[in-house]
Structure 1
Amino acid sequence: MKNSKKLIALIITVSLLTGCPSQNSHKDDEDYYVKDTNAFNILISQYANNIEQIWGPKEVLIAGPKDYVQYEDNLKTRVHINFVSGVITIETMAESPIENLKEAIVSTLLMPEPVDIIRHDKISQNLSKDPFLFNQVLDQDHQPIRWSGRANSFADYVLANNLKFRTSGPHKIAYVEIKLVPNHINQRAKKFLPIVTEASNRYFIDERLILAIMEVESAFNPYAVSRTDALGLMQVQQHTAGRDIFKLRGKSGEPSRKFLLDPRNNVDMGTAYLSLLKTKYLAGINNPISLRYAMITSYNGGAGSVLRTFSNDRNEAVNIINSMTPQQVYRKLVTSHVSQESRNYLVKVSRILDNK
C-alpha cells in the first residue's frame, strides 16, 4: 500500500506546487496551460536529476502512461511495472538487497486499487477487496495473490530462484523480474468494464471505442501520468478536456489531479469529451465511421487540426468529409494530418477496434 500511496502523494504534491489560477486572473487559458505544464515538467526534471545523482545518467527511470515507477529507500530501491511488456522489475542498490527486495515485492503485489487510496477517507466501506495486481500475477503454485502470507511466500520463492545482479558504472544492482500473466491487459480491462459500460450508456459512446482508447492511452494503467500532464486511464488533461467538460457542466476551473486519478471520474471525463467531440466540435459529419475516425484523431490532436486537414473553413471541411467514403477519410487523416503522433494514434486505435 505504501508504494501506491507515495505515488498519489507525489502527483498531488506536484499539483499543489504548480499551483492553480486565481479566480481573479484574466490570463489566457492557453498561456496558463503552457506555464503550468512547464512547472510540472521542471519538478519532474528535478526529480529525475535526484535519481541520476544516485543511479547514474543511464539509469533514470520515470513513470509514464504505460509504466508505473516507484522509488523508496531514499531512491535506492525501485519498482517498475511495464504494462505493455507485462514485466515487473524490482531492483535495489541497498546494502541489504534481499531484505529491501522482499519488502518491495510484497508491497507491490499487495498494492491497492487507486480508488482505494483516493477515496479511503470518504467511503471506506466500498473499498476493493483485491489488490490491484490480483489475477495479473500468479505465484509458484499458479495461484493469484490476495493476502500477505501468499505474497511473502512468493517473494521468498522469487528471491531464491530469480535473483540476479548487474553493474552500472560503479554500482552493483540486485534485481528480480516477475512476469504478469499473458492476458494481463484483458485482466486490467475487466476491472474497469463496469465503469466503461456506465459511461458508454450515459454519453451514447461505443463501449469498444472507449476501451480501445484506454488501451492505447495507458494500457489500462490507472496510475498513468505523462510529461504533458495527462492523467489516468484515458489520459485526460486538466487544462484542455477537463476544463471543457467542467465548462459544459456549468462549473468553473478544472478538475484536480486527484479527481482525475479516480478511475470512475477519469473514464467519465474522457467519455464526456468524446461525446463533446461527437456532438459539438465535429457535428455535421454524417457517416458514423467517418465520424469515428475524426473523433479518434481529435481525441489525440484536437478537432481543429482534424478539420484543417480537409479545409481551413470548418463548414467546407465537414462538406468535404461528407463527400468522401470512410476509407478515403481514414486515408486522408493517416497521410495528411499535421501531426505524425495523431496519424499513428488513429492507426493504433482503429487496429484494436478491428480486432474486437
Structure 2
Amino acid sequence: MFKTFVASALLISCASAISSFDSYKKSQKSNFTQEKSQFSDYKKAQQKAFSSYIKELEKYWKKPIMTSKKKLVSYAKDKKSRTIIDFGHNRLTIETLAKETQEAEQKLSLALVQAVTFNTEDFYNNDEFEQQLAKIEASHKIATPKIDAEPVLAPIFFKEQPTKKSLYHFVKHNITPEKIQIQKSSKIKTDKVYTLTISLPKDATIKRSFIYYEDVKREATRQQIPLALVFAIIHSESSFNPMARSYVPAYGLMQIVPRTAGIDAYYHLYKKKRLVGSSYLYNSKNNIKMGSAYLHVLYYKYLHHIKNPTSRLYCTIAAYNTGAGNVARAFVGTNDTYRAAQMINRLTPEEVYTRLLKDLRYSEAKRYLMKVRKRMKLYKKIYES
C-alpha cells in the first residue's frame, strides 16, 4: 500500500514537474517572442531617428557622414564642426564651417583638443544621435549600461596623460595655414569649409590594442580560444573602433549582430535568450565578452565535429563573418555542418583553407579569412611570444 502511494506520488510529482517545465519553456518562448517584437519596433524607431538626424545634418553639410565600422564621427552641438577618426586608414580629419580663417582656426583648435582627449564615454555623451538612440532603447526596455571611459586617441599621440602645455604645443604644431584646406562651397552661403587632416602614427592600431589587452586575455582564457584570434577579429571587424556601427546592424569592437550572434553569445553566457541594443555593445567589456563567447559557440558547438583544431579554426573564422551554414555550403552545397565536417575531416588544414578561399559563397568572407589568419600571426608575435 505504501509502495503504491509512493509510486502514485512520484508519478503525480513527475507529471507536475514536466507540466511546470513545459509551462516554463512556453513562458520563455513567449517572453522571447515578445522581446523580438519589441526589438523590431526598436529598429524602426532607430531608422526613423537616423533619417531625421541625417535631414538635420543636410542643412549644414552636402554629404553627411556617420559613424561606421572603422570610422568614429562626432559632430559639435551646433553641427557646424565634425571630427572623423578613420581607424582603417589611420587618419584624423576635422572639418568646420566658418566665415573667415581666424574663426575657423579657433573652432579647429577646440575640436582637435577634444579629439585627442575625449574617451569613449565623452564621445558617446557628446553624440546627439547616440543620445536619441539611448532614449529609444530605454523606452523599449533594452539594456543600456554605462559606457566605459576608455581613451581613444590620447595613447596614440602622447606617452603620458596630456597636460595643458603638451596640448598647446600639439595644437600649435598642427593648426597651421599650410595644413588647412579651404573649400568655398558650403550649404551655408556665408560660410566656407575648413579642413584639417592629420595622419595617425603607423603603429596606432597596435597601440590601441594595448587598451583592451586585459579584457581580451580574460575572455579568451575563459572561452578557451586563442588570444591572438580575438585581437585579429577585432582588428578586422573595427580596427579597434569602440563605437563601430554597420548597416547590418552590428555594433562595437567585435561587430556583434544582436539578432544572431548576440542571441547565441548571451545564451551561452547567461543561459537565457535576450536581445541587447547598441549601447550594451558599445561597452567594450560586454562586447569582448560577447564576441569571445560567440567564437566559443562556433568552435566548440556548431563546428565541434571537425577533428583537426587548425581546420576547425579556419572554419570558425569564416563562420564568424558569414555563418556556420555558409561554411558548410562550401563543402557539401547545403548548410548541414555535420555532413560538411565528414568531408573536412578527410582534408589537411591547408586543403580546408584552400577550399574555403575557393568555394565560400561571398568574396567578403574569403578576404576576411585571409586577413584574420595573417593578423593572428601578428598578434601572436606581440602578445604570446
**TM norm. shorter chain > 0.5:** yes
Could you say which residue in structure 2 is the equivalent of 1:242?
262
State whether structure 2 residue 98 is matched by structure 1 residue 112.
Answer: no
> Are the counterparts in 1 of residues 92 and 197 from structure 2 also a CA contact under 8 Å?
yes
State whether structure 2 residue 71 is matched by structure 1 residue 67.
Answer: yes
State whether structure 2 residue 372 is matched by structure 1 residue 349.
Answer: yes
Could you say which residue in structure 2 is the equivalent of 1:326?
349
CA 1:45–1:332 in structure 2 vs 1: closer, same or farther (change >3 Å)? Answer: farther
State whether structure 2 residue 80 is matched by structure 1 residue 76.
Answer: yes
2:287 to 266, 272, 280: 266
Deviation at 1:34, TM superposition (A): 7.1
Secondary structure of the residue aligned to 1:236 is coil
Structure 2 letter corresponding to 1:346? L
2:60 to 54, 75, 84: 54
Matched residues in 1 for 2:81 and 2:250: separation? 26
CA 1:115–1:92 in structure 2 vs 1: closer, same or farther (change >3 Å)? Answer: closer
Secondary structure of the residue aligned to 1:80 is strand
> Are the counterparts in 2 of residues 81 and 89 from structure 1 also a CA contact under 8 Å?
yes
> Are the counterparts in 1 of residues 74 and 123 from structure 2 also a CA contact under 8 Å?
no
2:181 to 132, 146, 165: 165
> Are the counterparts in 2 of residues 136 and 144 from structure 1 also a CA contact under 8 Å?
no
State whether structure 2 residue 342 is matched by structure 1 residue 335.
Answer: no
> Are the counterparts in 1 of residues 58 and 64 from structure 2 also a CA contact under 8 Å?
yes
Secondary structure of the residue aligned to 1:253 is coil
| Residue-by-residue CA offset, 1:152-196 (whole Å, 9 max, x unaligned) | 342233223554133263462112222222210110011111111
Larger CA Rg, structure 1 vs 2: 2
Number of residues paired by the alignment?
Answer: 323
Matched residues in 2 for 1:26 and 1:63: separation? 30
Secondary structure of the residue aligned to 1:309 is helix
Ranges in structure 2 where 5+ consecutive residues have no aligned partner: 1-28, 126-144
Trace 1:93-112 onto structure 2 (pairs within 5 A).
93-95=97-99, 96-112=103-119
Matched residues in 2 for 1:320 and 1:37: separation? 40
Secondary structure of the residue aligned to 2:59 is helix
Secondary structure of the residue aligned to 2:260 is helix
Structure 2 letter corresponding to 1:250? K
> Are the counterparts in 1 of residues 32 and 273 from structure 2 also a CA contact under 8 Å?
no
Deviation at 1:102, TM superposition (A): 1.4
1:233 to 253, 263, 267: 253
Deviation at 1:330, TM superposition (A): 1.1
> Are the counterparts in 2 of residues 114 and 222 from structure 1 also a CA contact under 8 Å?
no
> Are the counterparts in 2 of residues 290 and 321 from structure 1 also a CA contact under 8 Å?
yes
Ranges in structure 1 where 5+ consecutive residues have no aligned partner: 1-21
State whether structure 2 residue 175 is matched by structure 1 residue 156.
Answer: no
CA 1:26–1:251 in structure 2 vs 1: closer, same or farther (change >3 Å)? Answer: closer
Which deviates more from structure 2 when the two are superposed, residues 281-290 or residues 244-253? 244-253
TM-score of the superposed pair, with normalisation by structure 1: 0.81
Could you say which residue in structure 1 is the equivalent of 2:90?
86
Secondary structure of the residue aligned to 1:296 is helix
> Are the counterparts in 2 of residues 114 and 261 from structure 1 also a CA contact under 8 Å?
no
Deviation at 1:123, TM superposition (A): 9.6
> Are the counterparts in 1 of residues 238 and 244 from structure 2 also a CA contact under 8 Å?
yes
Matched residues in 2 for 1:91 and 1:345: separation? 32
Identity across the alignment (%) = 29
> Are the counterparts in 2 of residues 37 and 228 from structure 1 also a CA contact under 8 Å?
no
TM-score of the superposed pair, with normalisation by structure 2: 0.75
Matched residues in 1 for 2:263 and 2:182: separation? 46
1:282 to 277, 298, 303: 303
Secondary structure of the residue aligned to 2:371 is helix
Secondary structure of the residue aligned to 1:221 is coil
| Residue-by-residue CA offset, 1:250-302 (whole Å, 9 max, x unaligned) | 23422232221111111111000000001111111011111011000100111
